[in-house]
Structures are given as C-alpha cells and as structure tokens.
Chain A
Amino acid sequence: MKFFRPQMALAVMAAMLLPIGAPVRTGAADTTPVKIALITDMSGIYASLSGEGAAVATKMAVADFGGKVLGRPIEVDVIDHRNDAQGSAVKAREALDNGADLLLDMTNSGVALADAAVAKEKHKLAIVTGAASSALTGANCNKYTYHYAYDTYALASSTGRNIARQADAKTWYGIVPNYAFGTQMLADFTAAIKPEGAKFVHADMIPPGSADFSAFLLSAKNSGAQVLGVLNAGADTVNTMKQVKQFGIDKQMKIAVGLLFLTDVDALPDVFAGSRITTSWYWNEDKAARAWADRFTKARGQGLRPSDIQASDYSATIQWLNAVKAVGSTDADKIVAYLDGRQFNDFYVHGGEWRARDHRVTHDMYVVDVIPKEQIKEPHAWFKIVQTIAPGRAFRPESQSTCKKDW
C-alpha cells in the first residue's frame, strides 16, 4: 500500500500487537457489583411514562430484594438515551463493557432495537419494557432480548377486537403515522379486526410530527367509515384527538385509540376522556397493585401514580434477580435457559410466561375506558377496566410468530 506513511504503518501494527479487548469477566469475581443499566428517557417525550419514575421503581425493586444477590451488591445505573438510537447504542455498549449485567427499559422502539442488537453481540440480557415494536419478538428477535410489557399486536388485538365486535363498527378509517410503529399498528389492527368481519377501508400514512390532521380527519368523515382508528402516539395522538373533537368526528364515528398511557391522560385529561384503550396494568386494578402503587407514590413524591411501564420495570427487575439467584450467576445463557418457558405471577403480571418461542413475555392485558375529569374518584384514577384479555388472545400466537429462532 503505497499510501502508507512509515510512521502510520508502524503505529497501526503496534496497535494491533497490543493486547486488545477488555479483560474477560469471570464469574469468580464474587464481590464486584451486579449492575443493572436502566436505559430510559429522562427529559424528553417519554420522561413521564418512564424516566425518573422508572429509576425509582427499579431502585425500589433492588431495595426490596435486599440490595444484594449472590453476596454481591446490586447497582442501578441510569442512562439517558435522549431518544437517540445511535447514541444509546454506544452508551449501552460502554455500560456492558464496564460490567453491566442487564439492560432494562429502553422506552423508544428505535433505541430498543439498537440496544437489543448490542445485547446480542455482547451475550448479555436485555429486557425491553417501554417500547412498542412487535419486531422485537418478530424479525428482530434474538436470544438475549425479552419483550416484557406490551407490543403493538397486544394493543391491536385487545382494543381492536373489543370495538370491532360491535355491530356498527365494521368499517374502519386509519390515522396512521408513517413510520415502523405506525405500519406495525396498522397491520396488527387489520389482522385483529378481521375475525369480527371488520376491515380498514382506508388508512392515511401521515408524517409523524404533523401537527395538522384536519385534511385526513375530513377525509375520514367523508369516507363514511364507522370507526376512526387513531393509531399514532404521543404528541400526534394529542393533536389528532384535539382536532377530532373540533371537527365533531367523535359524534359521527367511534374512536379507537391505539396507544395511550396513564401519564398521557394526566397531561391532557379533556382530550382523551371517553377513549377506549388497552393497558398492561393499572395502578388501581386490584389490592396488590394498589398496595405497590401506594409505596411507589410515597417514594416518587408529588402524589404521582405509576404508569404500567414503571411497574413493569420493578417487576422485571425482581424476576431477573430471582433468576440470578436461582441460577447462581449472572451469565445470560444460563438465565435464558432458566427463564424460557417459565410461568409466573406477581402484582404486575397475571398468568405470565417467558415464552421460549420468541422471547415474548405474555400476560393478561386490560381494555379500559378513560373516565372524564369530573367523574374520577381520586387523583390519577383515570381508568375503568371493561375487559380482561387472557394472554392467549392478547399476544401474537406462537404459530404466527415471524421470529427466526436461531438459538
């Protein structure tokens, strides 16, 4: 290579001869801490859903577990992914190279997919709670990633099916954001409402971040469809719903909202009143949930109630620590072998299973109605459960999984 400068060549060769790569961690390091890397959005759009509350929940789990496992102290490192998939992948990599044993949360599908790939590369476990993409247990499935809380399929099959069952809810018009989440939601909803004899007559693939849905809502009204499927997320959903009420669309069509969280309703109660949605957990669903929620609220402060994602972080942490204890090490391969196929229950998961086929963690899901502000019995008591969906119905059947299981 005639372009090599002599100094440069020497430098490169020297670098190659140096011992490269981090020293291998041996399980015999008995007193080094067990580290959980909580990757969340601390100040962006998912900060209320996950964020600080997720840190509180995870640390609560560690404390409740006793602060130690296998005689080693447990540490929780909070990493702010700032909704930047590339940046978070570097930080996840660095955390794992510095001894992290578990990646947790990753609320944001892009971040989750990027970090799951890193986990696979490093042979360490990643439990995704807050992200929606069912690709995590589909085309992007891998041995070292579990998808814990919910996914687009669960939302579709619960909300979609529940609404499509009604006699006058057979034609749907979709307001869909034009990115992976949106296309996934559309596909999952289409499949979910089909057995009830319903279908989408049209779906608008709208650039996410659009503030103005008037053109599409008008088309929806004009199309004569019976149901408006609002399949976007976050700020898009807020804007859509605001304009739905403005154009009086909710008087003419039923409204199915694909994705909504308790914390969204906290922020904008009037916009979402009367919507029917699906959630993986509600803080007031039963005694056990409420007992935990009260403890969380005390730790979190300001009377804030936990979202289902924050509860899932606690649950996942406890379950993983239990597995570590049972297996006697933090080795990801051993833990996967232990968890695969295992059934379990706790305050968050009812009828749960760590599905071996595609690493989807299945459990009950709940269809709820959002109660208007004037009718709630206490602060943050927004939901009324109208139907409980068993895991067999809620999640994509194993037979339909697109996961190419390579483990």
Chain B
Amino acid sequence: MQYSAGPTFSEGLLLAQASLTPSFLLEQVFNGLVRGGFYALLALGLSIIFGMLRIVNFAHGAMYMLGAFVAYEGALQFHLPFFAALIVAPIVVAAFGLLIETLLLRRLYNLDPLYNLLFTFALVLVIEDAMRLQFGALGSPYEMPALLSGQTNLGLFAYPTYQLFVIVVSILVCLAVYLVVERSPLGARIRAATENPELTRAFGINTSRLVSGVFAFGVGLAAFAGVLNAPYTNVTPSMGDSIIISTFAIVVIGGLGSLRGSIVTAFALGVIQALGAVFYPPIANTLIFIVMVLVILFKPSGLFGTTERAA
C-alpha cells in the first residue's frame, strides 16, 4: 500500500541538493569508508580463501557473526574488554574454522568447487539457527568502548570517534594482509602451494597445513570485522545473512582471487552506497548487484581480475 503522503522522490532530490554542502558530502564519504571498511575486511578474507584455496566460503558471514558473539559472550562472562576481544575473537573463530576445515571441508577438495559452496551454505543454516536458539533473534547489546565514544572534531565537521577508528583499523589491516600475501616469503609459499601443490610439496613444504592455516586466517579476518561491528550495530544471529551476498558481489566485481580488487572495490562501493543513499535511499542495498551485473557484462573477469578462473 503506497501512500504518497511523504515528500516525493523529486522533492527529496531538490531538498538533498539544497543541503549538499561540501562538508556534508565529505561526511557521507566518511560514512561510506566505514561501510567499505567492513566490506573490505570481509571481502579480503573471502578472496584469500577463494583465490588461494578455491573454496567458495558461503559461511563467511556466519563467521563474522560468530566473531561478534564471541566478543559479546566474552564481555558478559569474562569481562573481556573490546580491544582484547579484537584479538581473542578472531583466534577463537579461526580455531573453529580450522576444525571445520580439517574434519569436514577437506573431504571436498578433489571435487568440483561448487560442492564446497553448497556445503558452506548448509553450514550457514546450522550455525545461524544454533545461535538463534541460544541467544534469541532480537539481538544482544554490545557496549561502545568508552575510549572510542563521542566525537572528534575534524575541522570541517565533528565525526564519531568510533567510526574513525574503524576506518583507520580496516585500512591498516587490509594493507598489512595484502603486503604479507603478495610480498612476503610466507605469502609466496602459500601462493605456490595453491598453484602447484605437488611441486611445492616436493620442496618439503607441508601444503595441507598451509591450506588449513589460510582458511583459518581468512575466517579470522571475518571474525575481526564482526567484533568491529559489534558496538556499532546490533549483534544478532542473522547479521551475517545479508552481508554475505553483498560481499560475494564485491569480490566478483573486484575480480575473484584479486586481493587488490577486493579491497579497492569494497571501499569504493561503500562510498558509492553511502552517496547513493543520500539521493535515493531505497536503492542503497541493490546498487552493489546492479554494478555487479554491469561489470560482468563489460569486464567479465572483474575490475582487477586477469584470467578467468574456471570453476
């Protein structure tokens, strides 16, 4: 039932244009960077796992949610402070991921990669429902750490301190991960192991341990994003549900397997979404998919992708 009692789209546009000061727009860009930061951490983990392991981890969103809940439970039961949770939660979730990988996922490696997509899809149902049964669907409150609450004066405007923290941390972490994977000896070994496991093993490198480690690290990144998100929004069992398909879209747009693509696309799309929300809010969530369809049409391997990885 559509009521046109409120201002129409065009009225809203005029209004928006009227208040489009540079500082307002800049503030929205910052909002977009915050969003992009979450997307980037998630897309990075997903991209690493796919690029290196050919695993399409549908459960990535669930890992993100688990990270937030570990932080919540940690605070509740052990008075775990936020900054400690940023380290503890990823480790806990990474351990969980390791368990899943070694016990279950490993059996699907010889098969078509679509099988692990389906398996991880089933995993989402199990994990999310289990969490909902345990914690309820309404959500659990996670307090903003006192150190980061309030606003910081940035000259042009005052911006919430916590959001600034998110932007800085996500950029730093993404950079660090990128450098390690692309430039360090460890990263080289990982890349070798996935491109040519036989040869790498011949060199005496334990490839299956590398693979497990990479998977655990990838989901650990997701959990990290989850903890970052906990003070910002509600911690609910379904918080990973909506973000997972957007993350997939970002990874595809950036180019499956391209870390740089994932990071850049994530931040860019976050900003585009925030700006899009100013002009026509309803489209905000769907913008990513529209962009994805366009990219697939015109640059099928993704913006930064090079070769098509045959599935």
A and B touch in the complex (CB under 8 A): yes
Given A44-B137, A268-B141, decide whether A135 and B242 contact each other with a Cβ distance below 8 A. no
Residue ID in chain B nearest A238 by CB atoms: B234
Interface membership of chain B positions 255-272, coded 1 if the CB is closer than 8 angstroms to chain A and 0 otherwise = 000000000000000000
A387 at the interface (CB under 8 A from B): no
Residues from 28 to 86 in A contacting B, C-beta threshold 8 Å: 43-45, 47-48
Confirm or deny: A267 has a beta carbon within 8 angstroms of a beta carbon on chain B: yes
| Minimal beta-carbon separation of A152 from chain B (angstroms) | 10
Is the CB–CB distance between A207 and B7 below 8 Å?
no
Q: How far is the CB of A131 from chain B (nearest CB, A)?
A: 14
Complex CA gap A271/B139 in Å reads: 13
Contact pattern, A 206-228, Cβ under 8 Å of B = 1, otherwise 0: 11011110111011001100000
- How far apart are A132's CB and chain B's nearest CB, in angstroms? 12
Among residues of B, the one whose C-beta sits closest to the C-beta of A203 is: B6
- Closest Cβ of chain A to B82, distance in Å, is 15
| Cα A234 to Cα B233 with chains together (Å) | 13
Which residues of A have CB within 8 Å of B163? Answer: 214, 246
Residues of B within 8 A of A291 (CB): none
Structural contact, B239 and A211, CB atoms closer than 8 A: yes
Contacts between chains A and B (CB distance < 8 A), count: 136
Contact of A190 among B5, B35, B141, B162 (CB under 8 A): B5
Q: Give the residues in chain A near B141, CB-CB below 8 Å.
A: 267-268, 270-271
In the assembled complex, B132 has its CB within 8 A of some CB on chain A = yes
Question: Which residue of the partner chain, among B136, B274, B286, contacts A215 with CB atoms under 8 Å?
Answer: B274
CA distance A271 to B231 in the complex (A): 12
Which residues on A sit within 8 Å (CB–CB) of B145? Answer: none
In the complex where A187-B5, A218-B31, A246-B144 touch, is A47 in contact with B137 (Cβ < 8 A)?
yes
Query: What B residues does A201 contact at CB under 8 A?
Result: 7, 15
Assuming the contacts A215-B277, A219-B278, A222-B19, asked whether A186 and B28 have C-beta atoms less than 8 A apart, the reply is: no
Interface assignment of B133: CB less than 8 Å from any CB of chain A: yes
A178 to B284, CA, bound (A): 11
The answer to whether the Cβ of B16 comes within 8 Å of any Cβ in the partner chain is: yes
Name which residue of chain A comes closest to B129, CB basis.
Answer: A43
Please tell me the number of chain A residues within 8 Å of chain B, measured between CB atoms.
52
**B7 adjacent to A203 (CB under 8 Å):** yes
State whether A206 touches B281 (Cβ < 8 A): yes
A304 on interface, CB distance cutoff 8 Å: no
Most A CB atoms within 10 A — which of B3, B21, B132, B163?
Answer: B3
Q: How far is the CA of A88 from the CA of B172 in the complex (A)?
A: 48
Contacts of B132 in A (CB 8 A): 43-44
Neighbour of A235 across the interface among B28, B234, B286, CB < 8 A: B234
For the complex, is B138 an interface residue (Cβ under 8 Å from A)?
yes
Nearest chain B CB to A217 CB, angstrom units: 9
Q: B residues within 8 A CB of A338?
A: none
Which residues in window 205-237 of B have CB below 8 A to A?
229, 232-234, 236
Which listed residue (A45, A183, A202, A210) contacts B7, Cβ 8 A? A202
Residues of A within 8 A of B5 (CB): 186-187, 190-191
Tell whether, in the assembled complex, residue A242 and residue B234 are in contact, meaning their CB atoms are under 8 Å apart: yes
A200–B1 touching, CB < 8 Å: no
Tell whether B24 is near chain A: CB-to-CB under 8 Å: yes
Is there an interface contact between B3 and A246, defined as CB atoms closer than 8 Å?
Answer: no
Contacts of A187 in B (CB 8 A): 3, 5-6
On whether A239 and B15 interact (CB within 8 A), knowing A190-B5, A210-B284, the answer reads no
Candidates A216, A222, A264, A267; contact of B24 at CB < 8 Å: A222
Is there an interface contact between B139 and A190, defined as CB atoms closer than 8 Å? Answer: no
Picked from B2, B21, B158, the residue with its CB within 8 Å of the CB of A183 is: B2
Complex CA gap A223/B14 in Å reads: 12
Q: Which positions 257-288 of chain A face chain B at CB distance < 8 Å?
A: 263-264, 267-268, 270-271
B16 & A219 in contact (Cβ 8 Å cutoff): yes
B19's contact among A44, A191, A219, A234, by CB below 8 Å, is which?
Answer: A219
- In the complex, which residues of chain B have a beta carbon less than 8 angstroms from the beta carbon of A212? 31, 34-35, 232-233
**Within 8 Å of chain A (Cβ to Cβ): is B160?**
yes
Nearest CB on B from A294, distance (A): 25
A376: Cβ under 8 A from any B Cβ: no
B184 at the interface (CB under 8 A from A): no
Interchain CB contact under 8 A, B236 and A235: yes
Which B-chain residue is minimally distant from A236 (CB atoms)? Answer: B234
B160 partner, pick from A206, A219, A247, beta carbons under 8 A: A247
By CB atoms of chain B within 10 A, which of A202, A211, A248 has the most? A211
Q: Is residue B81 within 8 Å, beta carbon to beta carbon, of the partner chain?
A: no
CB of B301 within 8 A of chain A? Answer: no
Interface membership of A137, Cβ < 8 A: no
Residues of B within 8 A of A211 (CB): 229, 232-234, 239, 242
Residues facing A in B274-291 (CB within 8 A) are 274, 277-278, 281-282, 284-286
A43 to B130, CA, bound (A): 12
CB distance from B266 to the nearest CB of A (A): 14
Complexed CA–CA distance, A216 and B279 (Å): 10
Instruction: Tell me whether B284 and A180 are in contact (CB under 8 A).
Output: no
For the complex, is A333 an interface residue (Cβ under 8 Å from B)?
A: no
Question: Does any Cβ of B come within 8 Å of A368's Cβ?
Answer: no
What are the interface flags for B1-28 relative to A under an 8 Å C-beta threshold, 1 for contact and 0 otherwise?
1110111000010011001010010011
Q: B137 touching A202 by the CB < 8 A rule?
A: no
- Compute how far the CA of A207 lies from the CA of B277 in the bound complex, rounded to whole angstroms: 10
| CA distance in complex: A207, B280 (Å) | 11
Chain B positions within 8 Å of A, measured between CB atoms, are: 1-3, 5-7, 12, 15-16, 19, 21, 24, 27-28, 31-32, 34-35, 132-133, 136-139, 141, 143-144, 149, 151, 158, 160, 162-163, 229, 232-234, 236, 239, 242, 274, 277-278, 281-282, 284-286
**Complex A-B: 30 CB contacts under 8 Å:** A43-B137, A44-B137, A45-B138, A47-B138, A184-B1, A184-B3, A186-B5, A186-B6, A187-B3, A187-B6, A191-B5, A203-B7, A205-B6, A206-B277, A206-B281, A207-B282, A211-B234, A212-B31, A212-B34, A212-B233, A214-B274, A215-B28, A216-B277, A222-B21, A222-B24, A247-B151, A247-B160, A270-B141, A270-B143, A271-B141
10 A-B pairs with the lowest CB-CB distances in the bound complex, closest first: A187-B3, A187-B5, A211-B233, A203-B6, A215-B277, A214-B31, A190-B5, A204-B281, A186-B6, A207-B285
Interface residues, chain A, with chain B CB atoms under 8 Å away: 43-45, 47-48, 135, 138-139, 174, 176, 178, 180, 183-184, 186-187, 190-191, 200-207, 209-212, 214-216, 218-219, 222-223, 234-235, 238-239, 242-243, 246-248, 263-264, 267-268, 270-271
